[in-house]
Structure 1
Amino acid sequence: MARVCPECGGEMIFDRSRYAYVCRTCGLTLTRFELDKYRDRRTSKREDEDSWKKEYLKWWLSSKK
């Protein structure tokens, strides 16, 4: 599974000497825990946006009756 850098979108590779993922593009270094935390934060933000959009659509459609 390819890991994506949260800063630049580049590919992250695992560096065994540091026990961390390093971005090939920008050099950002994150542990697996930190990388998962970024991913979870991004996922929850997307879910919040989707929820807001659904609520707005529901309101908009109900006001057109």
Structure 2
Amino acid sequence: MVSCTDCHAEMSYDPKFKKFVCKHCGLTLTYQEYMELRDKNRSDDESDADKKKRKHDEYLKWWLSKK
């Protein structure tokens, strides 16, 4: 199952147009477009996780330091 990159609803493949179509918001993407957006979103998620870890590490360092 392919999920929409905008609303995360299920997408179906339309063989007539050779595109994926979102059943909820109507977004249409070719396979290549879908893969590019999916990869971009994954890299954004990883950077958010890195930011969260960095903030956590900075706070821990502050907490353990002499105040």
Specify if TM > 0.5. Answer: yes
Separation (CA, whole Å) in 1 of partners of 2:57 and 2:6:
34
Residue 26 (structure 1) shift: 2.2
Structure 2 segments unaligned to the other structure (5+ residues): none
Per the alignment, residue 40 of structure 1 pairs with 39
Task: Determine what percentage of the aligned residue pairs are the same residue.
Answer: 33
2:14 maps to 15
Unpaired runs of at least 5, structure 1: none
Partner of 1:6: 5
Runs of 4+ more than 2 Å apart? none
How many residue pairs match? The answer is 64
- What's the Cα RMSD here? 1.0
TM-score normalised by L of structure 1: 0.87
With normalisation by structure 2, the TM-score equals: 0.85
